[in-house]
Structure 1
Amino acid sequence: MADQNAAATVLRETSSRCVTECGAHNFEVTNYALLSGMGIGNFVSSSTFCVGGYGWNIRFYPDGAKNAPAGYASAFLANLSETKDKVTTKYTLTMLDKDGQVVANKEVSRTRIFSPDPDGNCWGWSEFVEKLKLTKPPSDGQLGNGGCFTIRCVVTVIKEPPADQCNEKLFEIPPPELLGQLEHVLKDGKGADIKLLVGGREFNAHRFMLAVWSPVFHAQLLGPMAEEDTTRVIEVVNMEPAVFEMLLHFIYTDSLPPCDGEEGYGAPEMQHLLVAADRYGLDRLKAMCEEKLCKSIDMKTVTSTLALANQHFCERLKNACEEFMSKPGRVSTVLLSEGFRRVMATCFPLVLKDKEKVWRPWVGTSAPGNGSCSG
């Protein structure tokens, strides 16, 4: 008869997890012609970027690495971290022209291990791109941008679990849900205690949310002059409903609403939203709009963007417009446009350099030495 007092079998459960971390870095090369001739084996490198807890940089050899065939430029990824561990990765290096078109693309088909020794901490492609593609004129269908291009690196670090982790029970903490819940509250309107009328459209909201984020709403809803009427309607003038809807979404979620287009929000939308953010004292939203506008300046938008930056005291955006206009071949076209003349009538004078010329545009009745233009 079996011993009824025998100890029960205990199943010991352990677990471990292999995780990956992915990151990307863009390395812009502005003038290949000036780099060509550095000599075989010489390179220019990107800033150090961090992925998976390790430091990396992109190395571009304009005249090729030491083992590169003649006529090729080389590109490599280097591990800069001082570690004794071997780092397992997968990565791609892609060259893009100024319009985002792919000029060259290389991808590691299997994992690549970066080791601490000098011969194993830098991997890439000696035959990354033919030098002819970087030097031919625009009519030949190559870069056509004066040798300006971007090398984009996407690297994935595969991190094995440490030895002391196998006895741990791993718990995954769910992501924060507050912002998603607040967005749901905004959409269904439950508990709303105020209506906002914008361009004939009504928005339901919660006064405490508006007051917490916006000092203007705080004064209007909770300040000494606030009315006691809990069902009051506030009319918002001089603003499009679509812009106010984006502003309201930000107040509840600390983010912009998803954009339907693949290219994201356009400059006109960001300009209107910046004005709204400044009007209601939403400094973070204003900074977000300013950042997006800095990245979308072109010949069609630079004039209106400069006027906006001047009117709403966006120094970084104003500097970005001045830098854009100061590049060769652009300043003359911008300065002679009617839109720029209207802008200069209400802003401070600029000093823009175009090669050997220095442009000091003044518009209106004021002139240097006779006072500044009104702002």
Structure 2
Amino acid sequence: MGNHAGVQRLPETTTTPSRGITESVTASHEFKVTNYRALDGVLGVGKSVKSATFSVGGYDWEIRFFPDGDRRESASYASIYLACLSPAAKLDVSTKFTLTVLTQRAGKVASMDDTRCTFSPTSVTWGWTKFVEKSKLKSPDHDDAYLITIRCDLTVPKEPSTECKGVLIEVPPSELPGHLERALKDKKGTDVTLLVGGREFTAHRFMLASRSPVLDAQLFGPTLKKEDARRVEFVDMEPAIFQMLLHFIYTDSLPPPTCDDSQVGGYGTAEMQHLLVAADRYGLHRLKLICEEKLCRGIKVENVMSTMALADRHCCHRLKDACVAFMSQPDVMGAVVRDDGFKHLIGRCPMLGLEESHESKYSEPQI
């Protein structure tokens, strides 16, 4: 074995004792020479064909194949080398590699196993000038498409890293949501009063506008009068739902559940339905998805019709699919079709495809 740039001989095996644990990465690359017969005796001594570049361990490599040998004294042999293409500044890397030659008919004809070499700025290639006799590579029937495969199994150690195992510092989670929630409760710096169902809430206009495009237009619109931006009335919303909406705007999370008779993860189904409507109205997409997810987990016979209608009105496709899947259960459909809202819902959502089969299957007998 040798280094192609000024032949450098190494012992077949080099053993280096070590007490540490070195992590390494191993990968394989196959270089397929599809026209060997056209190359044999034609390319000439010292001429090579090269594989595509492949990366292992953070370094770039290629296989160099000399069909007629890399020098005159090895003209009856094929020479094979592994070359490192990474910049010289990155070199000086110890490796272990195996090169194997396989032919289309005979299979494996030559192999150099588990060779250990160090690639450096002055030794960027390693391999064998007499890797395999050319006679072993020839096609017995002179097939022009005779295939030779050169396989390289390469192991490269990862660059060592230094870990601090003394004092481990645990970084706490973000405190920002808690600080913003406190700012809402303390009412410091609030500059807008929100009227909801007879109750007054105070908040910060910049926070409302930054979280909701609808509130941004409502509070900072070009035609808005200054006095109108100080007091804003919200209609068609319960104060309790607005309070949950406001909590989410400041903290990006729902407030703790207060429903003892938990239906939807500690929240009431009607509560989540109303909050979803509010989230959709004010462009709070994440809150809408949170409500949709909780409603999906709380579908029951008694609420599936109202939930399905809600999903249809507000384009909640996943919630609608969950309702359809729930209603499609044989033990559920019988109760659902008797609901007063079933025919109305079918009229709005003919895509359900349940109206004919299930209405006839579960209809009351005619007397």
Normalising to structure 1: TM-score of the pair?
A: 0.49
Seen in structure 2, the aligned counterparts of structure 1 residues 170 and 246 have a Cα distance that, compared at 3 Å, is same
Which residues of structure 2 form unaligned runs of 5+? 1-161, 361-367
Work out whether residues 221 and 227 of structure 1, in 8 Å CA contact, stay in contact via their aligned partners in 2. no
Seen in structure 2, the aligned counterparts of structure 1 residues 182 and 245 have a Cα distance that, compared at 3 Å, is same
Q: What pairs with 1:30-109 in structure 2 (closer than 5 Å)?
A: none
1:313 paired with 2:311, answer no
Residues 88-108 of structure 1 deviation map (CA, whole Å, 9 limit, x = unaligned): xxxxxxxxxxxxxxxxxxxxx
Work out whether residues 331 and 352 of structure 1, in 8 Å CA contact, stay in contact via their aligned partners in 2. no
Q: What pairs with 1:144-293 in structure 2 (closer than 5 Å)?
A: 167-229=165-227, 232-261=230-259, 263=262, 264-293=266-295
Aligned letter for 2:235?
V
Tell me, in whole angstroms, the C-alpha distance in 2 between the residues paired with 1:184 and 1:198. 21
Work out whether residues 209 and 215 of structure 2, in 8 Å CA contact, stay in contact via their aligned partners in 1. yes
Tell me, in whole angstroms, the C-alpha distance in 2 between the residues paired with 1:208 and 1:309. 31
State, as a whole percentage, how many aligned pairs show the same letter.
56
User: Partner of 2:348: helix, strand, or coil?
Assistant: coil
Seen in structure 2, the aligned counterparts of structure 1 residues 280 and 167 have a Cα distance that, compared at 3 Å, is closer
Tell me, in whole angstroms, the C-alpha distance in 1 between the residues paired with 2:334 and 2:349. 19
Residues 79-135 of structure 1 deviation map (CA, whole Å, 9 limit, x = unaligned): xxxxxxxxxxxxxxxxxxxxxxxxxxxxxxxxxxxxxxxxxxxxxxxxxxxxxxxxx
Tell me, in whole angstroms, the C-alpha distance in 2 between the residues paired with 1:295 and 1:167. 44
Residues 16-71 of structure 1 deviation map (CA, whole Å, 9 limit, x = unaligned): xxxxxxxxxxxxxxxxxxxxxxxxxxxxxxxxxxxxxxxxxxxxxxxxxxxxxxxx
Tell me, in whole angstroms, the C-alpha distance in 2 between the residues paired with 1:349 and 1:335. 16
Counterpart in the other structure of 1:294: 296
Q: What pairs with 1:12-23 in structure 2 (closer than 5 Å)?
A: none
Deviation, structure 1 residue 265: 0.2
Tell me, in whole angstroms, the C-alpha distance in 2 between the residues paired with 1:300 and 1:230. 43
Deviation, structure 1 residue 335: 1.6
Work out whether residues 259 and 268 of structure 2, in 8 Å CA contact, stay in contact via their aligned partners in 1. no
Deviation, structure 1 residue 352: 3.5
The RMSD of aligned alpha carbons is 2.3
Aligned letter for 1:245?
Q
Counterpart in the other structure of 2:354: 352
Aligned letter for 2:283?
G
Work out whether residues 191 and 205 of structure 2, in 8 Å CA contact, stay in contact via their aligned partners in 1. yes
Aligned letter for 1:186?
L
Aligned letter for 1:294?
C
Deviation, structure 1 residue 284: 0.4
Deviation, structure 1 residue 239: 0.3
Normalising to structure 2: TM-score of the pair?
A: 0.50
Structure 1 stretches of 4+ moved >4 Å: 164-167
User: Partner of 1:196: helix, strand, or coil?
Assistant: strand
Deviation, structure 1 residue 343: 2.6
Which residues of structure 1 form unaligned runs of 5+? 1-163, 362-375
Seen in structure 2, the aligned counterparts of structure 1 residues 331 and 206 have a Cα distance that, compared at 3 Å, is same
Aligned letter for 2:220?
L
Tell me, in whole angstroms, the C-alpha distance in 2 between the residues paired with 1:270 and 1:190. 30
Deviation, structure 1 residue 171: 1.9
User: Partner of 1:291: helix, strand, or coil?
Assistant: helix
Deviation, structure 1 residue 165: 5.9
Tell me, in whole angstroms, the C-alpha distance in 2 between the residues paired with 1:350 and 1:321. 10
Deviation, structure 1 residue 344: 2.9
Tell me, in whole angstroms, the C-alpha distance in 1 between the residues paired with 2:165 and 2:352. 66
Tell me, in whole angstroms, the C-alpha distance in 1 between the residues paired with 2:213 and 2:342. 34
Deviation, structure 1 residue 231: 6.3
Counterpart in the other structure of 2:90: none
Tell me, in whole angstroms, the C-alpha distance in 2 between the residues paired with 1:167 and 1:302. 55
Residues 129-177 of structure 1 deviation map (CA, whole Å, 9 limit, x = unaligned): xxxxxxxxxxxxxxxxxxxxxxxxxxxxxxxxxxx86752222223211
Larger radius of gyration: 2
Work out whether residues 349 and 360 of structure 1, in 8 Å CA contact, stay in contact via their aligned partners in 2. no
Tell me, in whole angstroms, the C-alpha distance in 2 between the residues paired with 1:231 and 1:212. 15
Seen in structure 2, the aligned counterparts of structure 1 residues 300 and 171 have a Cα distance that, compared at 3 Å, is same
Aligned letter for 2:324?
E
